[in-house]
């Protein structure tokens, strides 16, 4: 079984050998129904859930999965274009939150928010009540931006899991 898998990966690597960076992304063997980008797999949950239930649903959907954590500008760019192409959804949960400490924005893995994008807040709601952050579609354009919102509100969401590094190692040698 392992040998068969390796053969498949080596073949896949050759198909895209001109661009090894892309090949690594492509070799990310996402489960069916998940979309690959660089070292992660993504899936949209269209059934609306409160933030914590969405996070739990992600965790049970695939091993190591969690709500979307955007760790780089590249990943941010990918996710925005993915949403613009594939979704008419107005708001959806990401992993971004300040549940642990008010004002300290972190992703589900505890890493800080480092993106350049500003985060909007609804001015009439006290900030300590909007501890979960959604991507919200700009009503005037195709863009999405981050908004703090009530965690109990039911929204669609995006799950993510990181690829197994073994795949990358195979890729380097292929």
Residues engaged in binding Ca ion (CB under 5 A): 40, 69, 71
CB of residue 84 vs Ca ion: minimum separation in angstroms?
18
| C-alpha to C-alpha distance for 141 and 160, rounded to whole angstroms | 26
The residue (of 96 and 171) whose beta carbon lies closer to Ca ion is: 96
CB of residue 34 vs Ca ion: minimum separation in angstroms?
13
CB of residue 48 vs Ca ion: minimum separation in angstroms?
22
Q: Which residue is nearest to Ca ion (CB)?
A: 69
- In sequence order, the 6+-apart residues with CB closer than 8 A to the CB of 81 are none
The residue (of 134 and 174) whose beta carbon lies closer to Ca ion is: 134
End-to-end CA, the chain: 19
The residue (of 72 and 154) whose beta carbon lies closer to Ca ion is: 72
Alpha-carbon distance values, 111 to 26, 65, 70, 72, 108 (Å): 25, 16, 10, 11, 7
The residue (of 73 and 127) whose beta carbon lies closer to Ca ion is: 73
- In sequence order, the 6+-apart residues with CB closer than 8 A to the CB of 77 are none
CB of residue 138 vs Ca ion: minimum separation in angstroms?
22
């Amino acid at each position: 079984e392992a040998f068969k898998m390796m053969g498949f990966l080596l073949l896949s690597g050759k198909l895209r050998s001109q661009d090894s960076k892309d090949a690594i992304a492509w070799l990310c063997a996402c489960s069916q129904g998940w979309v690959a980008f660089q070292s992660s797999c993504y899936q949209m949950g269209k059934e609306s859930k409160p933030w914590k239930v969405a996070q739990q649903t992600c965790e049970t959907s695939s091993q190591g999965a969690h709500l979307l954590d955007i760790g780089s500008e590249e990943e941010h760019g990918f996710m925005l274009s993915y949403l613009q192409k594939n979704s008419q959804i107005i708001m959806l949960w990401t992993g971004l939150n300040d549940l642990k400490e008010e004002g300290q924005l972190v992703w589900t893995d505890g890493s800080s928010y480092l993106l350049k994008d500003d985060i909007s807040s609804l001015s009439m709601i006290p900030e300590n009540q909007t501890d979960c952050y959604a991507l919200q579609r700009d009503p005037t354009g195709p863009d999405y931006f981050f908004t703090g919102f009530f965690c109990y509100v039911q929204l669609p969401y995006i799950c993510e899991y990181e690829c197994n590094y073994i795949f990358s190692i195979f890729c380097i040698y292929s």
